[in-house]
A and B are shown apart, each in its own frame.
Chain A
Amino acid sequence: MIINHPLLGPRDAAEFVYLGDAALIDRPDWQAKDAAEQFHAYGYLRDNPAGIHQELWYHEQGDRSWLVVTRDTLTHEITDVQIARDVARSRGRSA
């Protein structure tokens, strides 16, 4: 696969390490009332879609950026690649 890195352009997937669902960005608040349930869902429950999937890739053999890659799990078509830090900020993780 080729991942079109937002900063470095098209790079071979072999330069990257795969982590999984980009929902891992949304780490729950440890002080929430139902923190235990939320962390359980965060840690163990994943969607496994046959189709569009947002997922985390780490450019370990490159600039060490974590990326959020939107990939079709059936065709491997990649429709979007973003810097994970920007995604995290847009999801309100700046605080």
Chain B
Amino acid sequence: MTQINRLGGGLVNQGQTLSFTFNGKQMQGHPGDTLASALLANGQLLVGRSFKYHRPRGIFTAGSEEPNALVHLRSGAHQEPNTRATVAELFDGLTATSQNHRGSLEFDLMATTDLLAPFLSAGFYYKTFMWPRAFWEKLYEPAIRMSAGLGRLSMQEDPDTYDKGYLHCDLLVIGAGPAGLGAALAAARSGARVILADEDFAPGGRLNAETLEIDGMAGRDWAGATIAELAAMDNVRLMTRTTVYGAYDHGTYGALERCTDHLANSGGKPRQILWRIYSKRAVLAAGATERPIAFGNNDRPGIMLAGAVRTYVNRYGVTPGQRMAVFTNNDDGWRTAADLAAKGVEVCAIIDTRDAPAVCDVPGARHIRNAGVVNTVGRKALRAITLTDGQVIPCDGLAVSGGWNPNVHLTCHQRGRPEWNEAISAFVPAGDLPPGMAVAGAANGALTLGAALEQGRNVANAQIEDLGFTPSRDTPPRAEDEPHTGAPVWHIAASTKRAWLDLQNDVTVKDVKQSYREGFRSVEHMKRYTTLGMATDQGKTANIPALAIMAECTGKTIPETGTTMFRPPYTPVPLGALAGRARGREFRPYRLTPSHEWAKANGATFVEVGNWLRAQWFVRPGEKGWRDSVDREALQTRQTVGICDVTTLGKIDVQGRDAAAFLNKIYANGFAKLAVGRVRYGIMLREDGICYDDGTTARMSENHYVMTTTTANAVLVYRRMEFARQCLWPDMDVHLISTTDGWAQFAVAGPNSRKLLQKVVDPDHDLSNEGFPFMACGEVTVCGGTPARLFRISFSGEMAFEIAVPARYGNAMMGVLMEAGREFNAVPYGTEALGVMRIEKGHAAGNELDGRTTAYNLGLGRMVSSAKDCIGNTLSRRPEMNLPDAVKLVGFRPVDRTKKLIAGAHFISEGKEATMANDEGWISSVAYSPTLGHSIGLGFIKSGDTRIGEVVRAVSPVHKTEMRVEIVSPHFIDPEGERLRG
């Protein structure tokens, strides 16, 4: 028998044995155990080293509030650090290792830190590692990080999957202890849709840990029967292993369900599910957390909260020690002694801080009144305790009870502040709860069983009556109220040794007192100065005792001193669960262009443009780098004909009797007089007069326009137009629909573009320069009757068309165009060649419309019509935005043509120093022009339009380079526009 501390009974199945390892050591446990209960059963009291001082630590609690027993669970890529052993369900083959030590757990080389403790008190890091400043990054921080800390990441990709889910209910009951079960039962019997969520794998809450009775049966049996009844009801969803971690607006709750954490292998199923629960009402029945009493060396393995000891004894059939002592300031601690004795464990002493008679008879135990523990001995496991009167009591386990704190966390998530309840010396929820929430049971300060049951039922009934349900008339469950009085004692003042408050962040009573002395007296300052309550347990066992000690220092009451607020999450939520399926390629949705398959089959390299994957260039055999491909595509397009999928540009269908008037409001330039069958380039402004977007809009018929936007702004422009239509001009007869996805559109550019299209467009359509001139548009058919739209517009500067077909024909259309273009040596081109050609032509794009530039800056000032209102018109006329020396869009080329321009470089006049004061503008776009054989750029420089031919310096402090550049026209090729009109 290796399980030296295993007793009989409990909720574990001792008929079946599970094997697991801790630090490589083989151990046994049973189904129903947690890792913590199994470690205790095997006599493994030492489970980790503390964060700062590397003190040996054991298991302190039996629940999610655990500050100490954090382990690495599983191995390899599945390894998870900082897992609380107290909530990790045991399974066969589980492997766990301890954290934060160098060398073995027993002989941690870093334990010497503890000897330096006198120098390492609160604020030590802030005060000590200040100088020299340069040492912080290189020396101090790495050293501190190595010596302090918690678990290690596996540094491998998380192999598990995580899901997200959405649920709706009338009543959400948080916690399946007596109050929660009573609430869920009452609501469910009335017919309401109920979700009952509990973080434990065995619902029942404290009923599983206590020996109390309900309706004459054991509490845990009543819980079992109630859960069975709830599970059989169609209107109830019972969610175990599910932590409701946050209360959000309007009855929305966040919950984390651990689906496969209790299995050796997830079997391909999601490991955890992050639920969003929409509730009409909620009952918070989250129970209470026991708090410790601080005394000298109160952190040794073997010292445990008294309620946790009962959990181990009654639920798991495990005792933390063979010779136990109990230290309490209240009646509740006595039940621990009684339950231990009932299981045959030796209880040597009950030390009560009160001068009061025994609460119950505990065979064999000495009752020591009006006393306290001042010190303990036993480095890796408790050996004895010293009392205030100096007597030493040998024992290997000490149960400590300082009273219970209601778990008010979720009541604070929407600015609620709990209030102090003198009767139980604890904070309880005040009236300012999240809307729709009510609190019942221990979470509400009803710390006894009878009161919790009754309150759960009454609160649930009031909640569902509010929703129009009639409460059921069944007989409510009844239980006695156990004795629970106590007198608050927060720490034993006679202790001269360090007394720990926050076990996870290694904060002591002395640290809190020092914080007071140094002026950090508000609770929020004290927390940040000492780091108390800021570890992964968020100070569930530490906050209130620390607050009490600060209150002692200040001479104020606890409520006057303050309370700590709680924010979500209640317990840690893995980042993997928050990410869900949004990882890697699925990080966000992505969209494929209609010709994606054709492009993939023809050597395309893709680039993300917003959500779209677009062909960036097409590699041909023998090409050594991207420039080879891009140069070829641009040259071949200019020489003969190129084809590019431009579907991603936004397309907005604008229809209605007021369509023309509406476009006049949206665009800075006029569209009302645009002839049917013609296209016009337009610019949109923001209301502050800055350029927003540009594109072409075609008038298909009197009351029908087709607008294009840039790819990046497709959604935003449409949103703005809906705003203008609904909110600014609500009675214009105009309707908008986004058709970006509806049409596959291709640019066909180059001298042979017309000849190519004449082979594809059905012959009854005249594509001659007279029949279909530059900036013409119309509806045509292609390939023998397929509907299409044709636009004669050009981004490249060549004679060019854009042809649109219903999106489902897009991939086929790309093939048809390429096949028809074979005799002309047509080339597919990607976004890079597109960019090269638009820079050669001097067309503005996103780099120029960067949210800082006006139409005036872009050389398009005259497009802003003064004869009509439009968005941005008034403010674009502000004098400061129209100064004579404003920057203007012009072209640039290096004086030494072999040099490469750098985008982002700033212009300085020759002979002037390169300072911000002498800054005259910047280069916005650069490309290598294969047509010209050198680097070219577009950019903005003060009064640029009047400085053509001048040479300035382009300085890039980032690249530590500068070069002389010549200001030129932005139209590097065909400045007269003869090609595109040809």
Residue numbers of A with Cβ under 8 A of B are: 1-2, 12-13, 17, 19, 24-25, 27-28, 30-31, 35-36, 39-40, 42-44, 56, 58, 60, 64-66, 74-78, 84-85, 87-89, 93-94
Residue numbers of B with Cβ under 8 A of A are: 249-252, 278, 414-415, 435, 687-688, 715, 719, 722-723, 726-731, 869, 873-875, 877-878
A25 touching B728, Cβ below 8 Å:
yes
Q: Which residue of B lies closest to A84 (CB)?
A: B727
Please give, as numbers and ranges, the residues of chain A lying within 8 Å of B878 by CB-CB distance: 36
Could you tell me the distance in whole angstroms from the C-beta of B568 to the nearest C-beta in chain A? 15
Contact of B250 (CB < 8 Å), options: A2, A65, A89: A2
Report how far A1 CA is from B434 CA in the complex, Å.
13
The verdict on A30 contacting B874 (CB below 8 Å), with A39-B687, A76-B249 known, is yes
Contact of A66 (CB < 8 Å), options: B250, B252, B726, B874: B726
Please give, as numbers and ranges, the residues of chain A lying within 8 Å of B252 by CB-CB distance: 1-2
The verdict on A25 contacting B249 (CB below 8 Å), with A58-B722, A64-B722 known, is no
Report how far A76 CA is from B727 CA in the complex, Å.
24
Contact of A56 (CB < 8 Å), options: B249, B727, B875: B727
A19 touching B723, Cβ below 8 Å:
yes
Could you tell me the distance in whole angstroms from the C-beta of A43 to the nearest C-beta in chain B? 5
The verdict on A24 contacting B727 (CB below 8 Å), with A58-B722, A74-B415 known, is yes
Report how far A9 CA is from B136 CA in the complex, Å.
56
A93 touching B250, Cβ below 8 Å:
no
B730 touching A36, Cβ below 8 Å:
no
The verdict on A2 contacting B249 (CB below 8 Å), with A58-B719, A89-B730, A94-B730 known, is yes
B728 touching A93, Cβ below 8 Å:
yes
Contact of B728 (CB < 8 Å), options: A27, A31, A43: A27
Report how far A19 CA is from B724 CA in the complex, Å.
13
Report how far A93 CA is from B724 CA in the complex, Å.
11
A39 touching B250, Cβ below 8 Å:
no
Report how far A43 CA is from B726 CA in the complex, Å.
19
B730 touching A77, Cβ below 8 Å:
no
Q: Which of A30, A39, A44 gathers the greatest number of chain B CB atoms within 10 Å?
A: A39
B687 touching A93, Cβ below 8 Å:
no
Q: Which residue of B lies closest to A22 (CB)?
A: B727
8 contacts between A and B (CB under 8 A): A12-B278, A19-B723, A35-B874, A42-B687, A74-B415, A75-B415, A76-B249, A85-B727
17 new A-B contacts, CB < 8 A, other than A43-B875, A44-B688, A66-B723, are A1-B250, A1-B252, A12-B278, A24-B727, A35-B874, A36-B877, A42-B687, A60-B715, A64-B722, A65-B726, A75-B414, A75-B435, A76-B249, A76-B250, A76-B414, A78-B250, A93-B727
Could you tell me the distance in whole angstroms from the C-beta of A15 to the nearest C-beta in chain B? 13
Please give, as numbers and ranges, the residues of chain B lying within 8 Å of A84 by CB-CB distance: 726-727
Q: Which residue of B lies closest to A37 (CB)?
A: B874
B730 touching A93, Cβ below 8 Å:
yes
Could you tell me the distance in whole angstroms from the C-beta of B607 to the nearest C-beta in chain A? 26
Q: Which residue of A lies closest to B736 (CB)?
A: A64
**In terms of DSSP, what is the predominant structure of the interface of chain A?**
mixed
Please give, as numbers and ranges, the residues of chain A lying within 8 Å of B249 by CB-CB distance: 1-2, 13, 76
Q: Which residue of A lies closest to B738 (CB)?
A: A64
Please give, as numbers and ranges, the residues of chain A lying within 8 Å of B687 by CB-CB distance: 27, 39, 42-43
Report how far A64 CA is from B737 CA in the complex, Å.
10
B415 touching A30, Cβ below 8 Å:
no
Report how far A4 CA is from B961 CA in the complex, Å.
58
Report how far A75 CA is from B728 CA in the complex, Å.
30
Please give, as numbers and ranges, the residues of chain A lying within 8 Å of B688 by CB-CB distance: 43-44
Report how far A27 CA is from B730 CA in the complex, Å.
12
Report how far A40 CA is from B873 CA in the complex, Å.
12
Could you tell me the distance in whole angstroms from the C-beta of A62 to the nearest C-beta in chain B? 12
Please give, as numbers and ranges, the residues of chain A lying within 8 Å of B875 by CB-CB distance: 36, 39-40, 43
Q: Which of B250, B414, B723, B731 gathers the greatest number of chain A CB atoms within 10 Å?
A: B250
Q: Which residue of A lies closest to B278 (CB)?
A: A2
Please give, as numbers and ranges, the residues of chain B lying within 8 Å of A56 by CB-CB distance: 723, 727
Contact of A30 (CB < 8 Å), options: B278, B414, B731, B873: B873
Q: Which residue of B lies closest to A94 (CB)?
A: B731
Could you tell me the distance in whole angstroms from the C-beta of A90 to the nearest C-beta in chain B? 10
Please give, as numbers and ranges, the residues of chain B lying within 8 Å of A58 by CB-CB distance: 719, 722-723
B727 touching A25, Cβ below 8 Å:
yes
Please give, as numbers and ranges, the residues of chain A lying within 8 Å of B715 by CB-CB distance: 60
Report how far A56 CA is from B719 CA in the complex, Å.
12
Q: Which residue of B lies closest to A77 (CB)?
A: B435
Report how far A39 CA is from B719 CA in the complex, Å.
21
Report how far A88 CA is from B719 CA in the complex, Å.
17
B729 touching A93, Cβ below 8 Å:
yes
Report how far A21 CA is from B338 CA in the complex, Å.
64
Q: Which residue of B lies closest to A29 (CB)?
A: B869
Please give, as numbers and ranges, the residues of chain A lying within 8 Å of B731 by CB-CB distance: 89, 93-94
Q: Which residue of A lies closest to B729 (CB)?
A: A93
Q: Which residue of A lies closest to B715 (CB)?
A: A60
Please give, as numbers and ranges, the residues of chain A lying within 8 Å of B869 by CB-CB distance: 30-31
Please give, as numbers and ranges, the residues of chain B lying within 8 Å of A89 by CB-CB distance: 730-731
Q: Which of A17, A19, A24, A43 gathers the greatest number of chain B CB atoms within 10 Å?
A: A43
Please give, as numbers and ranges, the residues of chain A lying within 8 Å of B435 by CB-CB distance: 75, 77
Please give, as numbers and ranges, the residues of chain B lying within 8 Å of A28 by CB-CB distance: 874
The 4 closest A-B pairs by CB, nearest first: A30-B869, A2-B250, A88-B730, A1-B249
Could you tell me the distance in whole angstroms from the C-beta of B276 to the nearest C-beta in chain A? 8
Please give, as numbers and ranges, the residues of chain B lying within 8 Å of A66 by CB-CB distance: 722-723, 726-727
Report how far A1 CA is from B248 CA in the complex, Å.
8
Q: Which residue of A lies closest to B251 (CB)?
A: A2
Report how far A1 CA is from B730 CA in the complex, Å.
28
Please give, as numbers and ranges, the residues of chain A lying within 8 Å of B728 by CB-CB distance: 25, 27, 88, 93
Could you tell me the distance in whole angstroms from the C-beta of B589 to the nearest C-beta in chain A? 12
Report how far A30 CA is from B728 CA in the complex, Å.
13
Could you tell me the distance in whole angstroms from the C-beta of B502 to the nearest C-beta in chain A? 32
Could you tell me the distance in whole angstroms from the C-beta of B118 to the nearest C-beta in chain A? 47
A17 touching B727, Cβ below 8 Å:
no
Report how far A43 CA is from B722 CA in the complex, Å.
18
Report how far A24 CA is from B873 CA in the complex, Å.
16
Could you tell me the distance in whole angstroms from the C-beta of B688 to the nearest C-beta in chain A? 5
Report how far A28 CA is from B722 CA in the complex, Å.
18
Please give, as numbers and ranges, the residues of chain B lying within 8 Å of A35 by CB-CB distance: 874
Could you tell me the distance in whole angstroms from the C-beta of B528 to the nearest C-beta in chain A? 25
Could you tell me the distance in whole angstroms from the C-beta of A71 to the nearest C-beta in chain B? 10
Report how far A68 CA is from B567 CA in the complex, Å.
30
Please give, as numbers and ranges, the residues of chain A lying within 8 Å of B278 by CB-CB distance: 2, 12
Report how far A36 CA is from B728 CA in the complex, Å.
18
Could you tell me the distance in whole angstroms from the C-beta of B58 to the nearest C-beta in chain A? 44
Report how far A10 CA is from B249 CA in the complex, Å.
13
The verdict on A85 contacting B730 (CB below 8 Å), with A1-B250, A2-B249, A2-B252 known, is yes
Please give, as numbers and ranges, the residues of chain B lying within 8 Å of A64 by CB-CB distance: 722
Q: Which residue of A lies closest to B687 (CB)?
A: A43
B874 touching A39, Cβ below 8 Å:
yes
Report how far A17 CA is from B722 CA in the complex, Å.
12
Could you tell me the distance in whole angstroms from the C-beta of A9 to the nearest C-beta in chain B? 13
